[in-house]
């Protein structure tokens, strides 16, 4: 029972030291600030970015990495605008970005990473059902492909938005792509 005294991080389920927990709490605090009461769309990706500045809600001065990508795909203007203004628009539209593993996985093989995702998907489904309660779920990144059937069968009372039956790829999120995808099902509901 080597890990009996280790704390398990509530964001990723991994044994975590004080540094890991502190980073997790900071990200959670930043995300909570912009969490809408009613979630129109949940953007769900596999694993939080390694750099805190690439995490949408922790952007400093400018958006970078995945944070920048998702805003671009949604047509949310960032240039000449404070980070807070763009995040407020994201919130006002009822959007939330979440990860199956909220924390980047520091070490470990692809297989270990996949296993961590598999172990965490149940907790993610519970979080969606009890807390986030989105109307739509947009899956991002091919790491989530294997979980599509599980999420579709989970009775989440949300429309799963996919591209040809698969999650959207980060590298194919063009300008306003997600805006187009989100307006179509919205009209159909």
- Residues lying near Zn ion in the complex (CB under 5 A): 9, 11-12, 24, 103
- Tally of CB atoms within 10 A around 76: 20
Considering beta carbons, is residue 11 or 49 the nearer one to Zn ion? Answer: 11
- In angstroms, give the least distance from the CB of 22 to Zn ion: 11
Considering beta carbons, is residue 9 or 138 the nearer one to Zn ion? Answer: 9
Considering beta carbons, is residue 11 or 141 the nearer one to Zn ion? Answer: 11
- In angstroms, give the least distance from the CB of 19 to Zn ion: 11
Considering beta carbons, is residue 102 or 181 the nearer one to Zn ion? Answer: 102
Distance CA 183, CA 189 (A): 10
- In angstroms, give the least distance from the CB of 104 to Zn ion: 9
- In angstroms, give the least distance from the CB of 50 to Zn ion: 12
Continuous segment of H or E residues that includes residue 170: none
Considering beta carbons, is residue 6 or 186 the nearer one to Zn ion? Answer: 6
For 52-108, the DSSP string reads GGGSGGG-BSB--HHHHHHHHHTT---TTS-HHHHHHHHHHTTEEEEEEESS---S-
- In angstroms, give the least distance from the CB of 168 to Zn ion: 24
Distance CA 48, CA 115 (A): 16
- In angstroms, give the least distance from the CB of 70 to Zn ion: 21
Considering beta carbons, is residue 9 or 121 the nearer one to Zn ion? Answer: 9
- 3 in helix, strand or coil? coil
Of 170, 158, 159, which is closest to residue 99 (Cα–Cα)?
170
Of 116, 138, 115, which is closest to residue 128 (Cα–Cα)?
138
Tell me the sheet residues that pair with 139: 44
Continuous segment of H or E residues that includes residue 181: helix 177-188
């Amino acid at each position: 029972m080597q890990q009996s005294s280790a704390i398990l991080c509530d964001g990723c389920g991994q044994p975590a030291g004080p540094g890991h927990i502190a980073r997790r709490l900071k990200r959670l605090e930043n995300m909570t600030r912009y969490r809408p009461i009613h979630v129109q769309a949940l953007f769900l990706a596999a694993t939080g970015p390694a750099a805190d500045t690439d995490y949408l809600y922790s952007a400093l001065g400018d958006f970078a990495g995945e944070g920048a990508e998702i805003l671009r795909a949604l047509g949310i203007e960032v240039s000449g605008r404070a980070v807070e203004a763009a995040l407020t628009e994201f919130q006002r539209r009822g959007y939330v970005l979440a990860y199956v593993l909220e924390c980047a996985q520091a070490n470990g093989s692809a297989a270990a990473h996949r296993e961590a995702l598999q172990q965490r998907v149940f907790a993610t489904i519970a979080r969606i059902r009890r807390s986030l309660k989105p109307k739509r779920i947009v899956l991002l990144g091919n790491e989530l492909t294997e979980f599509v059937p599980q999420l579709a069968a989970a009775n989440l009372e949300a429309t799963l938005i996919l591209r040809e039956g698969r999650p959207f790829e980060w590298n194919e999120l063009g300008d306003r792509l997600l805006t187009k995808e989100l307006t179509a099902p919205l009209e159909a509901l």
